[in-house]
Chain A
Amino acid sequence: MSSNSGDTSGQIPEEVAEFLVESYENLDRLDQDLVILESDLHNKETLSSIFRTIHTIKGTCGFLGFEKLEKVAHVGENLLSKLRDGVIMINPGITSALLSTVDAVREMLSFIEQENYEGNGDYSALIELLASMTNGTLPQPSQGSNPATVPSSAPTSQDPISPPEEVQPEIHEPIKVGESSFVFNKKVSKPAPPQEPVSIAASTSEQVTVDEPLAVSPISDVSKDATPPNRGDVDKDKVVTSVSDANIRVDVGLLDKLMNLVGELVLARNQILQYTSSQTDSSFVAASQRLNLITSELQEGVMKTRMQPIGNVWSKFPRVVRDLALSVGKNVAIEFEGRETELDRTIIESIKDPLTHLVRNSVDHGIETPEGRIAAGKARDGRLILRAYHEGGHVNIEIADDGAGINPDRIRANALKKGLFRADQLDKMSEREITNLIFAPGFSTAEKITNVSGRGVGMDVVKTNIEKIGGTIDIQSTPGEGTTIKIKIPLTLAIIPALVVAAGGQRYAIPQVSLVELVRLERDQAKVDIDSVYGAPVCRLRGNLLPLVYLCDLMHTSTKKIEDEAVNVVVLQADERQFGLVVDNVVDTEEIVVKPLGKQVKNVDVYAGATIMGDGRVALILDVMGIAQRSSVISEVRDRKLSELSASSTLEVGERQTLLLLGVGDSYRVAVPLSSVDRLEEFPSDALEWAGDNQVVQYRDAIMPLIWLSSTLGVPSATEVDSASIQVVVHSGHGRRVGVVVDRILDIVAVNMNLEKCSIKSQVIGSTVINDRVTDIVNVDEIVQSALVNFIDSSNFALAGYGG
């Protein structure tokens, strides 16, 4: 396990620094508690709180190996436990002794902070005193004597507590008021030395006013003067000030609010910058440039306050991996790289579950059993490496294992079996695309169901969750060598870079994460490169066909574009697919603040939110996934939708469907959902054979029965009996293939169906108008079923050998 080395407090290890901060806070509370206790002897609650505090310190320093400190805390704890249990009654002597204990602890802590050990102070007298009080042998020590035996804390601790009686009201108040918002050190409540910052501010503003009439350069000097001290001093302070002073706990809600305010400031800044571009007044221009600079830095700074190292999420993984590995009989070592990589806390929250799932998955499915590993010539113990690093405004997280890897053939077979894809679709996919199929909904390669899989979070959910926060997930696997899952997520969600485009007289923002490239096709080129396949526009881009979506058409707004002008294509990435969004204009790139939409518009899937542009107008942020789905660019979704439809034998009215147009008889036109079509085949007439009463063909090592669509629908066939070949639509359902013989295969069309029921035939779902012709939509499943009943009982049919 690698841990981060460069930390803020010089030599002190991180966990010690944390311990110090925590202990100082606790000690401050202890001071108050003890004083409260003195005035209210029977306050059980305060007593237990004191006990807990000392107990925590004792426990932690024992863990960290500060024995001396532990000893002192231990005797203190013993005394406290007696007090708590009512064996000993508290008296001023005991309170003083306890306060001395606090001082002693504080002293040691400050030694630890500076020298990393507890110092040379001799606390045996104190320990003895406490012990004797605990045993009741020294019940009433005089008040003055015991503090004297204890080294005074005043010279060592930075800000010695003044007489506790005075502190009490002062300290107690603010903490009560602050309650949840701040747990701060007493030192914080002490007014900070006011002179310095004020004088800096004063001198800066003076300089500004003096320099204002002058040109740009002096002001930029000011900004230089003004900014570096902030940064430099902070770093220096960290070294100089004590750990407790360098940290302060802040309510997360406050940080969120600050972030929102900074978001507003960014918008206001954008607005001013836009206005500035039309101004000539140089001092105004300079001032707004400075505003720009400061805003950016402030944004960065506030964002940092919400950052958390990813190690926070990872810290529970060793346990998760250990438990899981044990339960499945594997040996897995987990390693971390880049624990300190920071992420916005909202993002940390939302990647917690996906990461856990991926880690579990790697252990469960990726890494082999020790025997399997040895057989494969690998080390007995599997390795799981979690890696995180920043890369260009993003954070990359990798989960790599050296397990068996993913076998693309198995995925292919599984996808086919589950009916997610057709064989021809799978054939066209690259190995990587196939591997990434494990993210497809309804997919699982787990051969055995363990208590790990089947927990309700599939890989598709992981993918969805990652995408929800604007991230991407990719999987690379080498069979036999291992699998690496790479997640790329934005640093923050609040402010994102976006491309601003215009269409139909309106501006839209597109998050840059989904942006692949911008393509501008000049008039002549556009005519050549933009084509249509069955009415669906596509663009030829470096030899590939890129489906196009016209933003104006999608939004049902009219374009102001003239036919002859150049075409702007914004190439976007949605899922594994790319598509081109045709817009009227590409305006600019801008940092935008994502704002949520009201309930009334939230349900429109093409918007991810809205933002306010430089000119104060609202612009909608496009949801690239939503657009892809609405325009059916993502085939999986479309295919899935269609297969769901055919499964339920109903077609939703008004939905866009891809249909296979068929001709039956002389003029009868029917259409079937493309999803119910397995393949289109042409068989020579002499391939037709008989099996019992059925006409069949040999197809893919099996016997496939044929059904004549014309006779099923009661329409005279137009195919001549002696024609050389037959057109067959291969349909597979219920694990077998059936060929539906049609007269003509006409076209594949995507249409918005408005079905009317004109026929009472059960095979006909309804009628609609496609390409100016009335077309019946038929249910292939139903046809096959009804036709097969005429042949044989379907259970016998299955025995006849189809599908295995």
Chain B
Amino acid sequence: MSQKILSEKQYCTFYLDNHFLGIGVREVQEVLKYQPMTSVPLADDVVAGLINLRGQIVTALDLRKVMGLAHLDGRLPMNIVVRSDDGPLSLLVDEIGDVVEVEADFFEDPPETLEVSFRHLIRGVYKLEGKLMLVLDLERAVFSLVDA
């Protein structure tokens, strides 16, 4: 699996609670500011709503809920639209960061001390200057959730 990590050099970063996370740029279709959403009553909790992405209806997932974090207060979330087999899928995050370039040497497996439920959804950590970037495991965190 780490081979796959190594292949990805650039990451689209974002903030979630006090975490700094990244998704491989190739998995990201686009990033958007807050979009008006239509909520879907009776759907799973992690479904934040549906957004109109240039005529395409895209499901927005509350990534904080997915990761078991507290609800975002007082601010409007932003969208990271990722590609999935089922079409685009939007992840709601607190704030979008830069696209960062990483060196494979600075990669490490997720620290054992991370809470299990959270650690499960992280592929590993890049030690960047001044901060750590957690690589989100889209497969586990988002796409597999879809089948549940």
Contacts and interface: CB of A to CB of B under 8 A. Distances in A.
A674 interface: no
Contacts of A607: 40
B41 A598 contact: no
A177 interface: no
B134 interface: no
B81 interface: no
Interface in A775-799: none
B57 A618 contact: yes
A267 B43 CA distance: 25
Given A598-B86, A601-B47, A620 B55 contact: no
Interface string A585-609: 0000000000111111100101100
A506 B39 contact: yes
Interface of A: 264, 267-268, 504, 506, 554-557, 595-601, 604, 606-607, 610-612, 616-620
Interface in B58-82: 58-59, 61
Given A597-B59, A600-B47, A612 B52 contact: yes
Interface string B23-56: 0000000000000111111111011011110011
B50 A610 contact: yes
Contacts of B43: 600-601, 604
A610 B55 contact: no
Q: Which 6 pairs between the two chains have the least Cβ-Cβ distance?
A: A555-B41, A598-B59, A618-B38, A618-B50, A599-B146, A601-B43
B59 A555 contact: no
A617 B38 contact: yes
Contacts of B97: none
Contact of A600 (B42, B56, B146): B146
A268 B56 CA distance: 12
A557 B57 contact: no
Nearest to B38: A618
Contacts of B39: 506
Contacts of A619: 38
Contacts of A611: 57
Contact of A620 (B40, B44, B52, B58): B40
Nearest to A504: B41
Given A600-B46, A612-B57, 8 more contacts: A506-B38, A597-B59, A598-B87, A599-B146, A600-B44, A601-B43, A604-B42, A620-B50
Nearest to B61: A600
Nearest to B142: A600
A598 B49 CA distance: 11
A671 B39 CA distance: 38
29 contacts: A264-B55, A267-B55, A556-B41, A557-B41, A595-B56, A597-B50, A598-B57, A598-B86, A598-B89, A599-B147, A600-B44, A600-B46, A600-B61, A600-B146, A601-B43, A601-B59, A604-B42, A604-B43, A606-B42, A607-B40, A610-B50, A610-B57, A616-B52, A617-B38, A617-B52, A618-B50, A618-B51, A618-B52, A620-B50
Contacts of B42: 554-556, 604, 606
Nearest to A507: B38
Nearest to B90: A598
For A267, A556, A618, the residue with the greatest tally of chain B CB atoms inside 10 Å of its CB is A618
Contact of A617 (B36, B56, B87): B36
A680 to B, nearest CB: 35
A425 to B, nearest CB: 30
A556 B40 CA distance: 11
Contacts of A618: 37-38, 49-52, 57
A601 B36 contact: no
A271 to B, nearest CB: 10
Given A555-B41, A555-B42, A604-B40, A595 B57 contact: yes
Contacts of B47: 600-601
Nearest to A503: B41
A44 B146 CA distance: 53
The interface residues of chain A, by DSSP majority, are classed as: mixed
A725 B80 CA distance: 72
A598 B40 CA distance: 12
A620 B47 CA distance: 14
Contacts of A601: 40, 43-44, 47, 50, 59
Interface string B136-148: 0000000001110
A471 to B, nearest CB: 24
Residue of B52, B145, B147 contacting most chain A CB atoms (<10 Å): B52
A595 B43 CA distance: 17
A405 to B, nearest CB: 44
A554 B41 CA distance: 9
Contacts of B57: 595-598, 610-612, 618
Given A599-B86, A600-B61, A612 B55 contact: yes
Contacts of A556: 41-42
Nearest to A261: B55
A150 B54 CA distance: 62
A151 to B, nearest CB: 58
B59 A620 contact: no
B45 to A, nearest CB: 11
Contacts of A599: 86, 146-147
Contacts of B36: 617
Interface in B123-138: none
A612 B36 CA distance: 12
Contacts of B87: 598
Contacts of A506: 38-39, 41
Interface centre among B41, B58, B61, B147, by most chain A C-beta atoms within 10 angstroms, is: B41
B71 to A, nearest CB: 18
A487 B44 CA distance: 36
Residue among B39, B46, B47 with max Cβ neighbours from chain A (10 Å)? B39
Contacts of B89: 598, 600
A611 B57 CA distance: 8
Contacts of B146: 598-600
A600 B60 CA distance: 10
Contacts of B44: 600-601
B145 to A, nearest CB: 8
Contacts of A616: 52
A616 B37 CA distance: 10
A600 B55 contact: no
A600 B59 contact: yes
B32 to A, nearest CB: 14
A598 B86 CA distance: 7
Contacts of A264: 55
Contacts of B147: 599
Contacts of B52: 612, 616-618
Contact of B38 (A268, A595, A604, A620): A620
Nearest to A596: B57
A225 B55 CA distance: 32
Contacts of A604: 40, 42-43
A661 to B, nearest CB: 29
A595 B56 CA distance: 8
A618 B53 CA distance: 10
Nearest to A551: B41
A348 to B, nearest CB: 27
